[in-house]
Amino acid sequence: MDLTDLTLSEALRALRARQISAVELTEAHLARIEALEPRLGAFLTVTAERALEQARRADERRSRGEEAPLLGIPLGIKDVLCTEGVQTTAGSRILEGFVPPYTATAVQKLFESGAIMLGKTNTDEFAMGSSTENSAYHPTRNPHRLDRIPGGSSGGSAAAVAARMALGALGTDTGGSVRQPAAMCGIVGIKPSYGRVSRYGLIAFASSLDQIGTFGRTVRDAALLLQVIAGHDPMDSTSVNAPVPDYSAALSGEVTGVRIGVPKEYFVSGMQPEVEAAVRAAVAHLEALGAHVREVSLPHTDYGLPIYYLIAPAEASANLARFDGVRYGPRFSDGRGMWEMYRQTRGKGFGSEVKRRIMLGTYALSAGYYDAYYLKAQKGRTLIKRDFDRAFAEVDVIVTPTAPRTAFRLGEKLDDPLQMYLEDIFTLPVNLAGICGISLPCGYDAESLPIGLQILAPAFGEEKALRVAYAYEQSTDWHTRAPAYLEN
């Protein structure tokens, strides 16, 4: 038996039954990483020795009769989440060599649950991108087609899970950066409600939008990870002190009577026809399972992209001001004074996409333009949130495509930022509204590239989205397909 073929849930059952050990499971995934990583580029740092030590401790705990929710499960961690004693770069040269003195709350919760860290996964620099080509170190490739992008910015985590290099992974989602790569790589990605998961220890991009999410090969796998990391954290003032439901209890496989809304604004001209066909077929399938389907309207959807690209860069401009060569990472200076040191460090340390967004955000916040741009964008954000509130008064969940097309070729959109930004057109309104969403596979195009189905629920209604996602997944076989590349 190839242990990397197991899903997270299957591996957990095998571990608890003492059919396999955590060391064996970890060694199998480290061997898969060693075999595939040069071609995929999913990891920035592989922590093999640490992972094996964590695995040995997990086996010792189990031998003493102890159990924990994820005891012995090897995972990947996106390299924007701080890990004590392990380099954390956010995919940027400006943080090269930075070793945090503390661990992010979400990661610490995984460790306390017995999980094992295989390494830190690749990301677009400071999570700014939709293809994981903006990493300062190397791009990540899609396990289904090596000439295609895996999505972004959490492309390393998504590719690692899809390629069977990890049983699950953490990512972050500021405008779609968990759901979009999940769709591109044919796996499941959950973006929780804003405030459901602590952001403490997350290197911030846009503080009012960022949320830590989970990847798994199945809905149950991703839900198990969410169960562990969700909950209030006094270290994060935006963390909401609300009970966390038992997400596994929502996985009944039953959707009879569930009200599903399909927004007319999410089927736009220019969409890849195979994507629209697959999503509409998925909606029809859910209706056949007993759900009630109706059309809904989210009239301010068209404003989502410009609103996002004012608010997110403005917050990035403020958050990234701390990276100046004084406290973190390398310092570049020719001895001509403090301001020149700042200029040289930031000029050489930040990549082009990060510089573009800093400039956009700084302009939007500048004197004389704040009201015209940033303040107006915040008012537009309120309208988008109200659209969702009205829709959820009529339906339980909303079903849409995750992305307008399947994975494009590496390098295809690097010189056209607007086209790159349009890849997140169906995901970023969710972050603006603070609600939750799941992406799961619902088909493949003619080139064997996955298509993602997005299921949205109201804030702190993750169990509603999980219920529908699980029912669809269990009545189809899209989630069982391994990337063809792995079979060659």
In sequence order, what E strands does 279-355 have? 292-296
- Containing H/E element for 412? none
Q: What percent of the chain has pLDDT over 70?
A: 99
Sequence-distant (≥ 6) Cβ neighbours of residue 460 within 8 angstroms: 193, 195, 196, 240, 242, 436
Are the C-beta atoms of 304 and 432 separated by less than 8 Å? yes
- The answer to whether residue 447 scores a pLDDT higher than 90 is yes
Q: Which residues of 398-413 are buried (b: 16+ CB within 10 A; e: fewer)?
A: bbbbbbbbbbbebebb
pLDDT at 417: 85
Q: Where are the alpha helices (H) located in 366-461, listed in sequence order?
A: 376-392, 417-421, 428-433
Tokens of 460: 């702190």
pTM of the predicted protein model: 0.97
Quote the distance between the C-alpha of residue 342 and its chain's center: 32
When pLDDT is cut at 50, 70 and 90, the band that residue 486 belongs to is: low
Nearest to 180 by CA among 11, 388, 466, 421: 421
Note the residue count of the chain: 488
- The answer to whether residue 55 scores a pLDDT higher than 60 is yes
- The answer to whether residue 267 scores a pLDDT higher than 70 is yes
- The answer to whether residue 487 scores a pLDDT higher than 80 is no
What's the pLDDT tens digit per position in 104-129?
A: 999 999 999 999 999 999 999 999 99
Q: What's the CATH number of domain 3-260+393-487, 3.10.310.10, 3.40.50.720, 3.90.1300.10, 3.40.50.1360?
A: 3.90.1300.10
Domain ranges for the chain, please list them.
Answer: 3-260+393-487
User: Which residues are known to be catalytic?
Assistant: 78, 153, 177
CA distance 390 to 405: 28
- The answer to whether residue 130 scores a pLDDT higher than 80 is yes
| Rounded average pLDDT over 424-449 | 97
**Count of beta carbons in the 10 Å neighbourhood of residue 49:** 9
pLDDT at 110: 98
DSSP result, 33-90: HHHHHHHH--EEEE-HHHHHHHHHHHHHHHHTT---TTTT-EEEEETTB-BTTB---T
Are the C-beta atoms of 225 and 111 separated by less than 8 Å? no
